[in-house]
Amino acid sequence: MIYVGLGSNLGDREAQLEAAVRRIAGLAEVRIMDRSTWWENPAVCGDFQPPFLNGVLGLESSRSAGELIGEFQRIERELGRERKGDQSARTLDLDLLLMGEDILSEDELEIPHPRMHERLFVLIPMMEIAPDAIHPVLGKTVKDLYGALEWGVYG
């Protein structure tokens, strides 16, 4: 299973996320199998930004990680995303979190997502749809990662 994190903290956040879900559902060779509810979270970089709405999709696809990221970045641009750095507010953020047991480290792409185990805004919606998904590098389930983060192990 492939898991994708979605987030938005500018404009009509829910409309942005729903538009992204529709566009992802329309991609060739991509099938949405599950989705979390939207969760409101404070911006990681502090109080100077509006809160995010975040969620996770579970997908099946025969497409490569590079192809999926390319499609996700195109969708982000089409929905008004301007890349101004990691800490900037954004209309839409689509992150490839997990691709089954795949481990990949390339210039602009790392799977599993290198900070997913440190982020409640990823782990809470993952708990909703995939508590038993395994992080292939850490060898722990989402449930274990969530518990560790709640107890301060990773923070």
Answer yes or no: are the C-beta atoms of 95 and 4 closer than 8 Å.
yes
In the set 81, 107, 115, 144, the catalytic residue is 81
Q: Which of 13, 35, 93, 119 is catalytic?
A: 93
Q: Where are the alpha helices (DSSP H) in 86-141?
A: 120-129
Active-site residue among 83, 90, 107, 119?
Answer: 90
**Active site residue: 86, 95, 102, 119, which one?**
95
Amino acid at 21: V
Query: What is the Cα gyration radius of the chain?
Result: 15
Active site annotation includes 115: no
**C-beta of residue 111 within 8 angstroms of C-beta of residue 99:** yes
Is 93 catalytic? The answer is: yes
What is the greatest pairwise CA distance in the chain?
41
**Active site positions, annotated:** 81, 90, 93, 95
